[in-house]
Structure 1
């Protein structure tokens, strides 16, 4: 059964009464960024291996890097408008328009006749993907309950490998075609995720935090009830969440917090939240996975596996392995915590990079005499590296930033984080083929050293957000929670109770609110 729900925007909603069904739709609607991104990385991995693609564009190391990295030009332009768009238009409309922009870029990419057209298309694609990714991550973090947020938001980026697996399979199949459709067909199929997102948006509610901030109180309470209690407006958990949101956003307005992009730098607390919250973007980019995400073929070349078909098959297996690891990592993040999972992942990544560098050096010293054990041992560690990366950074990339940032800086802060990620990714995807060509195994040693530095920064600066609502996380930065109502998980677990009638009276007096 669907219920017509007001959203405070031009985009209406008919929301299912079942919270379980709604939760599934929430993840589908916002998976577009990670699925599109995963598909894009895996597709380019496959295309960079295909002669029909490299010969059509007459690629060298520099133009290969440009074709691949151009998506990140749009990726760091998109955040310049995405935060403002999500705050002013609403979370759902921002996802809607970003999805359509992505589709336009994909169509132009499929029809590309030269490098310039291909690059422009990927800039548009990256621009749209950045908008949907930022709005989607914020939206999910604000709609999901605290008990499901790690899985609900973590799975958003876990879908990266769903897209990657599909792309790997498609490029493996089309790779045998003797025409430009060997690379055009995989490119065109990339639009399916954005289309699926657009079709799902009419069946999910708007963010309750955005609705409260805009003054749509009854609509916000309905949204909370739909996402937490099958639409029951009188459920104690629903009332607790609603009261927390109302009290916290009221406090932010009273102390002068604004929705301006400048707000992310205005106060010491905002700057601290920004630095910690934006760190997963740069940290995950520097970690070293860009080599395998976009230049896995070159990585296999350094290990001695040069057959095109073997490389395409290895790409499929890699993405399946990473999917398993990121799902395991999401469970670790939910049960063990964000900070310890990230620290474990960084330690393992650094060890893998040093081992890969050493093995690649041995192979480079005597390619003809290299044993099969050396070659396949190197590939095995490459697989371990990507798996260890997926354990922490895949779920945390979209989960941690919106958790750390309060409402007034959340959209613009997450946008700034995405800007930093894409700026670094643009740099690294462009220089990686050049670096691998010039210094080979030394690139791995450099990356391994960076990862040890990142490990220390996480250990010293990060805060743990597991099991808290977005409003309760304020106490970690402000020293106090801005609502007197008990924590949500205490109510849910039955450890504390609230007087429903009294809370109703408080809300009615404060907001002139009627059920």
Structure 2
């Protein structure tokens, strides 16, 4: 049995992180499977929450129990982002101080407690409080989880793993849509309580997997625990977990030298003054903003209103279409993940944004000529455009959303940058959940035309400003933004292609001996003590 991630004793300059798991999976493949399993359940929890609220907004039992007005309905969703905003101000410190596994544990625990409170709510204040906690836990898991996957997955599978992380958003969304559809015929409040209660399952599975998961090797090196970091790198990157593997040691040297260079964190003014850091933060912020304003906000949470506007008024049919919408999004997001892996994030984002613009323009035109009296072929054409929009959004924006910031941001600003990313998402979500339903009510088809128009602006900005980062280790990405790497080690791709210096292995051995002594450094011991010359 592995050790459980409880908070360590706090001491200024004397932080004692919890021990690494005592029992790892035996193969590289199984290590990656456990790592990804925990994270996909975390992502599914967020997807479940988004689709849950979209489904509940269709259920009359939910509306009647809380006597909801349009304002209260928007509040129940927007307050979730309020909780997420609170997490943005403190969870970076938790993640950087106590480690990625500790951050994941407490984020999941908070979500479990919140889901139970949500299902047990007896009045609107209790429900809103639970929504604040759920928002806090979900955003905390994003801040920690994206950084954790980016820092731990093998470099050649990092893009695929991070893209798949967000794809599983729709696995949770699909389960929530099915749960609300199955419970919709219950005559009591259990029609909404049961789907709300099931939300705690995702966090429970995540916690159950944590004892078998390693800590981020980059965080371990930063804490002066290089021996443990090398063991983790070997178990994740080498087929037999060999700490003497040349490519494992090459990556260890890259990470060590880069983090040593980045030892002192940047202040906010320095981030804005530094060209590379500033560009990273601008791309991160625009990724968050554009993804929220592409049109998905209203389609996800107010799918009932969207279908009403399209001429589909039957509530059970709306729930069935909500289920189909999430199934379509899941399939296209997985297809998009393959595309991202082959063509990169910038190309996928451009295809996705262009498709969203076209489908919204078509939806706006069809909605203009819809008389909303009887269900006609025009109504189903509008529904098709809604499905087309969801598919286009899921194809690019879903795989890219957490992949791009987590890869771009270097170690010292990764958790902080993900907090900023989440804050932009939350602030946009708060005002968007009040503004978009009112805009749909008063502007009607014009909203879709306007939304399509600003998607064209997003397309132009991404094409002009974003940078492609496909096929690089995290340390090698620095060269794209800063003009050079922080490490003197050759690129992994150069080594695999045979273009590296012929003496790179000898130079590696010399560096390890110089840095760690004749015992060949971390490979000779796995007792978790601080690396020589690099302890706090």
> Which has the higher mean CA deviation after the structures are superposed, 210-219 or 424-433?
424-433
Is it true that 1:327 corresponds to 2:334 in the alignment?
yes
Q: Which of 296, 300, 306 does residue 289 from structure 1 map onto?
A: 296
How much has 1:296 moved relative to structure 2? Answer: 0.6
Q: Which of 507, 510, 513 does residue 512 from structure 2 map onto?
A: 507
Paired residue secondary structure (1:134): helix
In structure 2, do the counterparts of structure 1 residues 514 and 174 end up closer, same or farther at CA, with 3 Å as the change threshold?
closer
Q: Which of 244, 247, 266 does residue 254 from structure 2 map onto?
A: 244
Q: Is contact 1:5-1:12 (8 Å) kept?
A: no
Q: Which of 272, 277, 286 does residue 279 from structure 1 map onto?
A: 286
- Name 1:160's counterpart in structure 2: 169
How much has 1:476 moved relative to structure 2? Answer: 0.7
Q: Which of 193, 216, 234 does residue 202 from structure 2 map onto?
A: 193
Is it true that 1:143 corresponds to 2:148 in the alignment?
no
How much has 1:33 moved relative to structure 2? Answer: 4.0
Is it true that 1:452 corresponds to 2:452 in the alignment?
no
For 1:305 and 1:62, locate their aligned partners in 2 and report how far apart those are by CA, in whole Å: 23
Where does 1:461-476 land on structure 2 (aligned, <5 Å)?
Answer: 461-476=465-480
For 1:482 and 1:178, locate their aligned partners in 2 and report how far apart those are by CA, in whole Å: 63
TM-score by length of 2: 0.91
Q: Which runs of 5+ in 2 are unaligned?
A: 9-15, 524-536
For 1:494 and 1:193, locate their aligned partners in 2 and report how far apart those are by CA, in whole Å: 44
Q: Is contact 2:490-2:504 (8 Å) kept?
A: no
How much has 1:495 moved relative to structure 2? Answer: 4.8
> Which has the higher mean CA deviation after the structures are superposed, 276-285 or 125-134?
276-285
Q: Is contact 1:3-1:17 (8 Å) kept?
A: no
In structure 2, do the counterparts of structure 1 residues 492 and 307 end up closer, same or farther at CA, with 3 Å as the change threshold?
same
Q: Is contact 1:326-1:390 (8 Å) kept?
A: yes
In structure 2, do the counterparts of structure 1 residues 107 and 274 end up closer, same or farther at CA, with 3 Å as the change threshold?
same
In structure 2, do the counterparts of structure 1 residues 185 and 144 end up closer, same or farther at CA, with 3 Å as the change threshold?
same
How much has 1:265 moved relative to structure 2? Answer: 3.7
For 1:150 and 1:466, locate their aligned partners in 2 and report how far apart those are by CA, in whole Å: 8
In structure 2, do the counterparts of structure 1 residues 514 and 151 end up closer, same or farther at CA, with 3 Å as the change threshold?
closer
For 2:461 and 2:294, locate their aligned partners in 1 and report how far apart those are by CA, in whole Å: 13
How much has 1:263 moved relative to structure 2? Answer: 5.8
- Name 1:232's counterpart in structure 2: 242
How much has 1:484 moved relative to structure 2? Answer: 2.1
In structure 2, do the counterparts of structure 1 residues 103 and 400 end up closer, same or farther at CA, with 3 Å as the change threshold?
same
Aligned CA RMSD, in angstroms, stands at 2.0
Q: Is contact 1:30-1:133 (8 Å) kept?
A: no
> Which has the higher mean CA deviation after the structures are superposed, 213-222 or 2-11?
2-11
How much has 1:328 moved relative to structure 2? Answer: 0.6
TM-score by length of 1: 0.95
Q: Is contact 2:77-2:433 (8 Å) kept?
A: yes
How many positions carry a matched residue from both structures? 508
Where does 1:280-429 land on structure 2 (aligned, <5 Å)?
Answer: 280-363=287-370, 366-368=371-373, 372-429=376-433
For 1:10 and 1:260, locate their aligned partners in 2 and report how far apart those are by CA, in whole Å: 28
How much has 1:396 moved relative to structure 2? Answer: 1.0
Where does 1:11-90 land on structure 2 (aligned, <5 Å)?
Answer: 12-13=20-21, 14-90=23-99
Is it true that 1:485 corresponds to 2:492 in the alignment?
no
Q: Is contact 1:278-1:414 (8 Å) kept?
A: no
Paired residue secondary structure (1:480): coil
Q: Is contact 2:4-2:210 (8 Å) kept?
A: no
Paired residue secondary structure (2:168): helix
Q: Is contact 2:356-2:393 (8 Å) kept?
A: yes
Q: Is contact 1:244-1:485 (8 Å) kept?
A: yes
Q: Is contact 2:312-2:375 (8 Å) kept?
A: no
In structure 2, do the counterparts of structure 1 residues 11 and 305 end up closer, same or farther at CA, with 3 Å as the change threshold?
farther
Q: Deviations for 1:220-274, whole angstroms, at most 9, x for unmatched residues?
A: 1111111111311121221111111011112223xxx316667644533222211
For 2:446 and 2:456, locate their aligned partners in 1 and report how far apart those are by CA, in whole Å: 16
Q: Is contact 2:309-2:372 (8 Å) kept?
A: no
How much has 1:501 moved relative to structure 2? Answer: 4.9
Q: Is contact 1:65-1:431 (8 Å) kept?
A: no
In structure 2, do the counterparts of structure 1 residues 237 and 141 end up closer, same or farther at CA, with 3 Å as the change threshold?
same
Paired residue secondary structure (1:16): coil
In structure 2, do the counterparts of structure 1 residues 156 and 514 end up closer, same or farther at CA, with 3 Å as the change threshold?
closer
For 1:362 and 1:56, locate their aligned partners in 2 and report how far apart those are by CA, in whole Å: 36
- Name 1:171's counterpart in structure 2: 180
Paired residue secondary structure (1:148): helix
For 2:304 and 2:237, locate their aligned partners in 1 and report how far apart those are by CA, in whole Å: 45
How much has 1:24 moved relative to structure 2? Answer: 1.3
For 2:269 and 2:317, locate their aligned partners in 1 and report how far apart those are by CA, in whole Å: 51
Q: Which runs of 5+ in 1 are unaligned?
A: none
How much has 1:316 moved relative to structure 2? Answer: 0.8
